[in-house]
Amino acid sequence: MAHEFEVIARYFTPPMPNGVVGGGDDCAYFSVSPQHQLATSADLLLEGRHFFPDVDPYLLGRKSLAVNLSDLAAAGARPLGCLLSLGLPTVNQEWLAAFSRGFLELAAEHGCPLIGGDTTRSQADLTIGVTVFGEVPNGQAPLRSRAQAQDDIWLTGELGAADVALRYLSGEWPLDGARLAATRSTLENPNPPVQFAQYARPYMHAAIDVSDGLAQDLTHILTASNCGAQLWYEALPIHAALLGLDASSQQAAVLAGGDVFQLCFTAPATHRDTLQKLAQNHGILLSRIGCITASSGLQILDAQKQPIALTRLGFNHFSAST
């Protein structure tokens, strides 16, 4: 077994970047800039729960890191590094080569080097644990509790595509090949706005990444900040592939669809132009989708300013099987 695991280690042992020591030691060591706090988050990805067993391993490698980078984006943090723990039911070199290529490519794209981790044999299911580290200037993190009445609510990227792809791939909806083709990469290769978030952070009050559905995730901000919000359905950036779906399916995918890994944040209205310019510079679609209110509760209004009733608040992905 030792030999096998030496082979595995090879895929995940790039040279340590400058300033990081202890690669292969019990701990990895790195520095946080003076006057900065460490921002950290860990996510577990489990076979059958967060990904299908037959998913493209290259894309799975990317997504395993991407969902964690999305947490750094919500912190407006500069990535410093990551740890990867793998529980493998079998040792498949082809799979490992593709998975590690995807993981390390995305790590390089975001300057978030793999600095440590752990590989072990699992009993049955493939298990992926990732921890990311970033830094933010002291006290400057856009906490969920920092939204203020009158703030604009902003969203990067588009909504609904990942949810739709998941419904086709899980067999919940009868297959529509064209629509699956148009949405699948949003589910399997999410692209959180990590760099934009660092530049936009000084203008943010509160931020969250959309992982469990816009309505549910925004509600976390409202609860933590003790305020409410109006969302304008007409202003939501709905993925083009959702055109032609019946209204209720579309609404569910847009408002409650998970796996988005885009950023929802609040900011004072004075920063509107600055934020739009920043988004443009970073090639990010940025939409102003509502506003924070002093009274509590989330109100979602249609084009006629009529409230939309949410039948499903948040989408727990793969929950059908539990």
Q: 288: annotated binding-site residue?
A: no
* CA separation for the pair 226, 202 (Å, rounded): 22
Q: Judged by CB under 8 A, does residue 2 bind its own copies?
A: yes
Residue (of 199, 219, 239, 200) closest to 290 by Cα position: 219
Determine, following the binding rule CB under 8 A, whether residue 99 of this chain makes contact with its own copies.
no
Is residue 26 a known part of a binding site?
A: yes
In terms of CB distance, is 7 or 42 closer to its own copies?
42
Query: Can residue 278 be called a binding residue for its own copies (CB under 8 A)?
Result: no
| CA atoms of 89 and 13, how far apart (whole Å) | 21
Rule CB under 8 A: is residue 83 a binding residue for its own copies? yes
Segment 289-318, which members bind its own copies (CB under 8 A)? 313-314, 316
CA–CA gap between residue 203 and residue 205 (Å, rounded): 7
- Kindly tell me which residue out of 9, 44, 108, 175 binds its own copies, with binding defined by CB under 8 A: 44
Position of tokens 């727990």?
A: 316
Shortest Å, Cβ 227 to its own copies: 16
Q: What does the alpha-carbon distance between residue 272 and residue 220 come to, in Å, rounded to a whole number?
A: 23
Does residue 25 have a known ligand-binding role? no
Query: 172-189 b/e with 16+ CB inside 10 Å = b?
Result: eeeebeebbebbbebbbb
Residues 285, 158: contact at Cβ < 8 Å? yes
Helix (H) / strand (E) element for 62: namely: helix 57-74
Query: What ranges make up the beta strands (E) of 109-188?
Result: 114-121, 127-137, 152-156
Of residues 62, 63, 110, 144, which one binds its own copies by CB under 8 A? 144
Cβ proximity to its own copies: between 81 and 232 the closer is 81
26 near its own copies, judged by CB under 8 A: yes
| Size of the residue set binding its own copies (CB under 8 A) | 67
Site for its own copies in 116-135 (CB under 8 A): 116-118, 120-125, 127, 129, 131, 133-134
* Residue among 260, 152, 265, 145 nearest 210 (CA): 260
Closest CA to 114 of 5, 33, 12, 9: 12
Instruction: Name the binding residues for Mg(2+).
Output: 26, 41, 43, 71, 118, 209, 212
Residues near its own copies, by CB under 8 A: 1-2, 21-22, 24-32, 34, 37-44, 46-50, 70-72, 74-75, 77, 83-87, 116-118, 120-125, 127, 129, 131, 133-134, 136, 138, 141, 143-144, 207-209, 220, 224, 313-314, 316, 319, 322
Instruction: Name the binding residues.
Output: 26, 41, 43, 50, 71, 117-118, 144, 209, 211-212, 259, 315
